[in-house]
Amino acid sequence: MERIAAWHVTIGTARGAAHHASGLPNQDAAAYQTGPDRAVAVAIADGHGHARHFRSAAGSALAVGVACRAATQVAVGLSEGRAEPTAAVRDELTRAIVTNWRTAVASDLAVQPYTAREQSALDLAGDSREVPYGSTLLVTAISGHWLVCAQIGDGDLLGVCPDGDVFYPVAADDLLDGCRTTSLCQPDAAALFRTGAHDLREVPLLVLLHATDGYGNAQAEEPWQPGVGRDLAELAAEHDHHWFEQQVPSWAQRCASADGSGDDVTIALLLRADAATMKQDHARRDS
């Protein structure tokens, strides 16, 4: 009988030093949800900092909520053997996320409508009612031996193998130039998602790093991913998830500081519960 791995989720988030200086809140958000048979869904989101997106903190919070629920549905389907994470399944996931996020924005607006001045600014700019809530989103689900990922906008998803090698669960997006990003608030948001599915029997995943762009923008090394992957694999072999729960928030804090990117930083780590054993097994096989 196939053994299903268990996963621990560790989240750290910090308000950027530049946001602190300019009076902006932490506009990132993160959430996770567990399902049957050790299924787990994780989502992080980065609300856009520009004044045009003046409700982006709410937008990112709504995004991680709807994303976790939608991804858990996919995970449940996978655990019950009803579906493979085909492109059609992933498209269904992203459509559900966008539809539910817009519904959630509408509900939020019903409670807190735009002021006349805000509405006037929207009309002048020709912005839709979703634009002030603009946010990126990275969401993953692990169910059985499947890893399913979807991302819109900037930020980083990084898979780490037991030997420290890294892989990128979704393709890069040439549209992202470091200043502008694709967003949930765009009319064609569902089409702007990048998705991926990976069979974990073929890809030995030890750690999955989710990070908003403030994390990567703080890294001095270029490219930073190989070094981070190598170190995460070593740390996962040396420490359990309790240690990561203590450390990850401080990593976010340092990256968000004026010594780093100064931007909001959110890190979510998915760590295999038997990471140390997995790495030892892998090392034994290699030797």
Partner 1 sequence: MTTSGSGWPYAQGRDHPGPGAAGMTEVVPYSRMPGGGIARRPLHFIILADCSGGMKGEKIQALNYAIADMMPHLAAWERDQEQAQVFIRAIAFATEPRWHIQDPQPVAGLRWRPLQPVAKGLTNMGPAFAMAAEALAPGRIERRALRPALLLITDGMATDLPGGFEAGLTALMSQPAGKAALRLSIAIGCDAQSAALDRFIGDPSVPVLVADSTEDIADRLVAVSLAVSRMSEAGADRSALARRLFGRPDDVPAGIFNQDTII
Instruction: Name the site residues for partner 1 (rule: CB under 8 A).
Output: 16-22, 24, 48-53, 131, 134, 175-183, 185-186, 216-224, 227-232, 235, 246-247, 250-251, 254-255, 257-263
Q: Which of 148, 270, 134, 126 is nearest to 211 (CA)?
A: 270
Q: Is residue 251 a contact partner of residue 10, using CB atoms and an 8 Å limit?
A: no
Q: In the complex, what is the shortest distance from the CB of residue 226 to partner 1, in angstroms, rounded to a whole number? A: 9
Which helix (H) or strand (E) is 243 found in, with range? helix 241-256
Residue type, 168: Y
CA nearest to 206, candidates 140, 249, 269: 269
Q: Which is nearer to partner 1, 36 or 223 (CB)?
A: 223
CB of 188 to partner 1, least distance (A): 11
How far apart, in whole angstroms, are the C-alpha atoms of residue 234 and residue 179? 34
Nearest approach, Cβ of residue 34 and partner 1 (Å) = 25
CA 272 to each of CA 34, 54, 202, 249, 285: distance values in angstroms, whole numbers, following the listed order: 14, 37, 16, 19, 19
Q: How far is the CB of 221 from partner 1 (least distance, A)?
A: 4
User: For residues 240 and 259, which CB has a smaller minimum distance to partner 1 in the complex?
Assistant: 259
Minimal distance, residue 80 CB to partner 1, in Å:
36
